[in-house]
Amino acid sequence: MSTDQPLLPDNQMLFDEAPCGLVVTKEDGTILRSNQTFSHSIGLDAQALIGRRFQDLLTMGGRIFHQTHWSPLMQMQGSVAEVKLDLVHHDKHIVTMLLNGVRREHASGAFYELALFGTKDRDKYERELLNARKVAEDLLREKTAAESALRQAQAELKSAYEEAQLRASLAEQMVAIVSHDLKNPLTAIKMASGILAREERTTRESKMLGHISQSVNRAERMIADLLDLALARVGQGITLSPSTVDLHAFVGASVDELRMTFPEATLVHQTVGTGNAWLDADRVQQIIGNLVANSVAYGDLQQPITITSRVEQDHAVVSVKNQGPVIPDSLMGVLFEPMIRGAKTGTDSRSVGLGLFIVREIVRAHNGVVSVNSMPESGTTFTATFPMV
């Protein structure tokens, strides 16, 4: 049983059409045979190459390299590999090729068998590889420079932040110290105006003493807010001294005091439910004062300001409602932040924009929550809810 064998090219065809240039020379470089691939590479007919010396096809530099390097290697070790040579094409341009060669001994003498490979595609690849490497190195340098700049910027930002924090801390400490020190002269002014008010005074003098008293009260509220801000910002928080209190009684007393502080406003106190609450009465009185001052500043003083105290099963609630303009949506998200103020209403009863911030901090210190609802129909209501203990 026979098996069909594939028909292979003959030896001559394999030699002539090999994918690389093939050259056989004598030991002195005389070409005995070359294939079509090599002939095509240098633009000379295979017959025209016979009898010429291989080294004569090289550039001057190539001839020197042949004489000093690869020819001696062929004689000493019998082979060379991947030797890069420049050959001169028939039309005088340079053709770069890689040469692999072996020296073989025959009965008639020694012969060199040379295989030559064109480097055009390889050179292109190497150029692209070098370009890609250069691009990568440039990108790496840019990345390194960017990272260095980022680290420097971060260091500068950290330094600036620490400096700003230090300045803020010093400023807050100064505010606390100055605010505390202002209490003594204000107390002296308040006592002096109170003593003077006891004696008979003209209408003009009584009015002036009233203005002094109101101004002192306003300054005391501002100082209290500034001290509380300083405590909150330095991390100590609002301090509390809670006790069991009659919610309606002390809220009613607070409203009575505020009627004297804000004679231009109509204050109404409403109560819901009965019972005691576990609160810091002075601090909650401060909440009511700040919310009423806010209502006087931004509410409609032709309408009453309603203060409601409500006792529920699990919560104690204090709310202050006015009929002023609706609070804009743009302010709702930051209303309880320090130094936030609404539109001016022509009154000077507001402080420095700390009232609502202090309200929030006092409620938080009680583990409670504060909220605001502002609608055209129902007005604006601030509600502080405290858990029952």
- Per-residue pLDDT of 188-234, as tens digits, reads 777 777 777 777 778 787 778 777 777 777 677 677 766 666 666 65
pLDDT at 70 exceeding the cut of 90: no
Which pair of tokens denotes residue 312?
A: 């529920």
What is the Cβ-side half-sphere exposure of residue 76, based on CA atoms within 13 angstroms?
7
Element (H, E) at 186: helix 120-198
Q: What is the pLDDT of residues 39-55, one digit of tens each?
A: 999 999 989 999 999 99
Could you tell me if 100 and 80 are in contact, meaning their C-beta atoms sit under 8 angstroms apart? yes
- Residue of 206 and 325 predicted with greater confidence: 325
d(CA 293, CA 49): 111
d(CA 353, CA 337): 9
d(CA 149, CA 162): 20
Q: What is the pLDDT of residues 259-304, one digit of tens each?
A: 888 889 999 999 999 889 999 888 898 899 989 988 998 899 999 9
Could you tell me if 280 and 245 are in contact, meaning their C-beta atoms sit under 8 angstroms apart? no
Among positive and negative, which fits the CA dihedral 25, 26, 30, 33?
negative
Which pair of tokens denotes residue 18?
A: 């090999």
- 18 Cβ neighbours under 8 A, 6+ residues apart: 35, 37
| For residues 168-197, average pLDDT | 67
Domains and CATH numbers, the chain: 11-118 (3.30.450.20), 125-232 (1.10.287), 238-387 (3.30.565.10)
| For residues 321-350, average pLDDT | 72
- Residue of 326 and 214 predicted with greater confidence: 326
Among candidate residues 302, 318, 310, the one with its CA nearest the CA of residue 379: 302
pLDDT at 23 exceeding the cut of 50: yes
- 273 Cβ neighbours under 8 A, 6+ residues apart: 310, 311, 312
User: Which pLDDT score is estimated for 329?
Assistant: 85
User: pLDDT band at residue 172, thresholds of 50, 70 and 90?
Assistant: low
* 3 state SS of 318: strand
pLDDT at 117 exceeding the cut of 80: yes
- Residue of 281 and 23 predicted with greater confidence: 23
User: Which pLDDT score is estimated for 349?
Assistant: 45
Phi/psi of residue 47, nearest 5 degrees: -70, -35
SS3 per residue for 201-236: CCHHHHHHHHHHHHHHHHHHHHHHHHHHHHHHHCCC
User: pLDDT band at residue 237, thresholds of 50, 70 and 90?
Assistant: low
Buried b (16+ CB within 10 A) or exposed e, 140-163: eeeeeeeeeeeeeeeeeeeeeeee
Provide long-range contacts, Cβ within 8 A and 24+ apart, for 100-107.
101/70, 101/74, 102/78, 103/27, 103/74, 103/75, 103/78, 103/79
User: pLDDT band at residue 345, thresholds of 50, 70 and 90?
Assistant: very low
pLDDT at 57 exceeding the cut of 90: yes
Q: How many CB atoms lie within 10 A of CB 137?
A: 10
Q: What torsion, rounded to 10 degrees, do the Cα atoms 383, 386, 388, 389 define? A: -170
Q: What is the pLDDT of residues 251-260, one digit of tens each?
A: 999 899 888 8
d(CA 359, CA 365): 10
User: Which pLDDT score is estimated for 373?
Assistant: 92
User: Which pLDDT score is estimated for 347?
Assistant: 46
pLDDT at 351 exceeding the cut of 60: no
In whole numbers, what is the pLDDT of the chain averaged over residues? 84
**CA-atom Rg of the chain in angstroms:** 50
Residue whose token pair is 């409403």:
270
Looking at residue 128, its amino acid is E
